[in-house]
């Protein structure tokens, strides 16, 4: 059976925190997490688009640094999920 925590849950997004008047609205961890997600989502989306057009494949081959950063971010998130698994 899951146990309940004695501390209340914090609203997740800055907008929810603002509407509920919970400060701080922005946290450093949220900003870092959002930046890394944005960095990897663009590159992974571009990789997915290479299936449909050779033009996107050319773009991926020109943006090697972006793809490398996305790969590192992906590995970090996968390792974080693997080592934080409670089950």
pLDDT-based confidence at residue 72 (cuts at 50, 70, 90): confident
Q: What pLDDT digit, counting tens, does each position of 11-69 carry?
A: 577 778 788 887 877 778 778 777 877 777 878 888 888 899 889 888 888 888 888 88
Instruction: Report the C-alpha gap between 79 and 55 in whole angstroms.
Output: 32
For 26, 55, 77, 79, 82, the CA distances from 74, given in Å and listed in that order, are: 24, 24, 5, 9, 12
pTM of the model: 0.52
Instruction: Report the C-alpha gap between 52 and 5 in whole angstroms.
Output: 48
CA 31 to chain centre: 10
């Amino acid at each position: 059976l899951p146990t309940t925590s004695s501390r209340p849950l914090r609203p997740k997004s800055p907008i929810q925190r603002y509407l509920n008047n919970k400060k701080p609205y922005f946290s450093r961890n949220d900003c870092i997490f959002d930046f890394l997600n944005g960095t990897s989502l663009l590159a992974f989306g571009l990789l997915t688009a290479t299936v449909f057009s050779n033009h996107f494949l050319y773009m991926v081959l020109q943006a090697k640094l972006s793809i490398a950063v996305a790969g590192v971010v992906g590995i970090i998130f996968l390792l974080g999920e693997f080592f934080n698994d409670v089950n």
